[in-house]
Structure 1
């Protein structure tokens, strides 16, 4: 009698995530955030509150945006009213980043997150569709457990084929 061939368990966030995560605290100064991001070699970092919950993500783009010149939106003045023609949301976002002092103020709030049981395929799909560099892996309470990067996903897909 021959044994049935073993099938590998499906890979999930739990099996491919990095457990030691470089992160910043919500109250960290923007300069501290920039230094930590550059020193880590990562493209983005999770922002944690005092209880270890993920409250945002900061990427290289956020830090670059914070140092760019703010462009006023084009407006139309009509009967003592100012009507934005375009770019009002972009202006508000640029202003928010340019005036940020702490990690929480600069971070993208309510970031996309992953859970331990998420499949590699679903993680890959979300990272690509949303043009993300990484997904923090959280428990049901939003506490950081690990992080899955594009490299982690690529490694899992290559090893699985």
Structure 2
């Protein structure tokens, strides 16, 4: 059984939590990846930023439709989406923009399990972290494909 640590990229391109959103965009473009891990000063994974996050950060925020009943305002759906749009549009640092609910894998997980997570969660890359949340590396869909072609 091949494990994640055997095929992961150890020197993953990362951004620091305090990096500016503009700098994150430059690094992401230069890396050629679809997403990039955000780490703090101790190397712990804080979140992930993808191309979509950066595009969303530069879009107009759309106010939710409100219904007025008895002098009260009731949002007609989309309140969570509005809050997310607002969070991204006002983000200044990588940590503020990053998605924090990140799917990860451990170094001893099988490549099959990692591939399953990548496909089921519809993500392009999966950070590999230790039990304390330190980023050890990253596995992309391309890494899985290369591994399958070698086998």
Calculate the TM-score normalised by the size of structure 2.
0.97
Task: State the match for 1:74 in structure 2.
Answer: 65
Answering whether residue 17 of structure 2 is matched by residue 30 of structure 1, we say: no
Aligned to 1:58, which of 38, 49, 58?
49
How far is 1:84 from its partner?
A: 1.2
The structural deviation recorded for 1:119 is 1.1
* Partner SS state of residue 76, structure 2: strand
Could you tell me which of 53, 73, 86 is aligned with 2:77?
86
The equivalent position to 1:135 in structure 2, one of 101, 114, 126, is 126
Corresponding residue to 2:100 among 72, 97, 109: 109
CA separation in 2, counterparts of 1:116 and 1:75?
48
Instruction: Mark the structure with the bigger radius of gyration.
Output: 1
* Alpha-carbon distance, 1:40 to partner: 0.6
Where in structure 2 are there 5+ consecutive unaligned residues?
none
1:124 to 97, 108, 115: 115
- CA shift at 1:47, angstroms? 0.4
Corresponding residue pairs, total: 151
Which of residues 10, 30, 38 in structure 2 aligns to 1:39? 30
Runs of 4+ in 1 over 6 A off after TM superposition: none
SS of the equivalent of 1:63 reads: helix
Q: 2:10 aligns with which of 19, 22, 31?
A: 19
User: Equivalents in 1 of 2:112, 2:27: separation in Å?
Assistant: 30
Structure 1: gaps (5+ residues): 1-9
